[in-house]
Structure 1
């Protein structure tokens, strides 16, 4: 953990990734895997300028590292705040609920994108910690079904792992860095 106590680290220093515990219970293990993947995204973005973070490595796709950070801001907000907590909030980057809008990071900055992402991650952690158990359910309007916090935690790990794979390719295309 960094000095702020966040497994995702900070923008000013190196991000530390803490591996999941080998013998913990389900909830602690899910939480640790999710934080590991969150930190991985931050690591993939370290040491790059705003311009580099905005670069689209595979045009015509608008996908960029900063676009991934913005997209995962929306994902955190949707699953934890809107679904599990039932908050009446919209998306950060699209009033029309267009999840693809976040990928367009053409005028975004690291400072803005990471501040919003880190705020959503912090709120997600609060919501997860406040939930009585992984069996807590909430209505997902998009799927028109009840979902459990357990499903949300698994889905979030899947979402980050998938996009961290994209981040691997994006980072390598920018400066050849692999394996971070």
Structure 2
């Protein structure tokens, strides 16, 4: 949040307490449950994206210590989480390529094992596009039924709510943003909780 003195009322967003000077990853200060949940998810997305930003192929394939995780693998994995979470887990629709063609049964860790075959440009494009699409789909779903609406992840004998689906995504990002913290620090010493003020997320995320 901005350290400046409080802004006048005309500078303050009416729904969540943020000001025009606050960065896009600043979660709401007030507002309802959907605003807080989606805002916290966006903060994790943008922190992760900043941690992964600007790496070449060698760095994206680099490992920290004994871990098998790579930043490239995390980019592709979280792209798949966004794609599948906002399609067949949400409403049963097809997530599209490359997720629909992946051999998930033969290689459950497919996103991690194949990331090294993709160029940095492809990994960043894939992740950025899936996040942009998922943000729009989840916001539309919240607007059309709220957090209590059931999602396709449930079955005949049980119901899963949109709230649970979104909290699962927050949990997924919390774990993997922590992994990204360690990998990036080992690569070049980049540390920090939030991106610096001069960093911007992909424009498509804020459209």
Question: 1:81 pairs with 80, 87, 109, which one?
Answer: 87
Q: Which runs of 5+ in 1 are unaligned?
A: 1-15
Query: How many residue pairs end up in the alignment?
Result: 163
Matched, 1:136 2:149: yes
Instruction: Report the aligned-residue RMSD.
Output: 2.2
Q: Which runs of 5+ in 2 are unaligned?
A: 1-22, 194-207
Offset of 1:91 from its aligned partner? Answer: 7.0
Question: 2:26 pairs with 1, 19, 32, which one?
Answer: 19
Superposed counterparts of 1:51-130, under 5 Å: 51-59=58-66, 61-89=67-95, 92=98, 95-97=102-104, 98-104=107-113, 105-130=115-140
Larger radius of gyration: 2
Q: Distance in 2 between matches of 1:57 and 1:71?
A: 17
1:139 match: secondary structure:
coil
Query: Could you tell me the TM-score, scaled by structure 2's length?
Result: 0.71
